[in-house]
């Protein structure tokens, strides 16, 4: 769903970075993390985030099944 929604728009990367910096001005750690992700290929970041999320869900399910 996100891929379809994002594919319909042409986002200017620099404008998006500035918007994030403005919105997160009170959270320097968040800005640093966003800048770190900006250096990576978007597809790789999505894959890392998906893998992390899936691992969290599976860990949670495993703990529920064990107890």
The yes-or-no verdict on residue 1 having pLDDT over 50 is no
Secondary structure element (H or E) that encloses residue 61, with its range = helix 42-66
Q: Give the tens place of pLDDT for each residue, 14-64.
A: 888 888 889 999 999 988 888 887 777 888 888 988 999 999 999 999 999
Q: Give the burial string for 47-58 (b: 16+ CB within 10 Å, else e).
A: eeeeeeeeeeee
Nearest-angstrom CA–CA distance, 41 and 16: 16
Question: In the chain, helix, strand, coil percent, each to 5?
Answer: 80, 0, 20
Running DSSP on this structure, what letter comes out for residue 37?
Answer: H
| Per-residue pLDDT, 56 | 96
Q: What is the pTM of this model?
A: 0.47
């Amino acid at each position: 769903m996100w891929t379809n929604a994002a594919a319909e728009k042409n986002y200017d990367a620099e404008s998006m970075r500035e918007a994030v910096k403005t919105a997160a001005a009170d959270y320097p750690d968040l800005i640093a993390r966003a800048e770190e992700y900006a250096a990576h290929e978007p597809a790789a970041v999505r894959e890392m985030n998906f893998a992390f999320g899936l691992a969290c869900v599976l860990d949670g399910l495993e703990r529920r099944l064990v107890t």
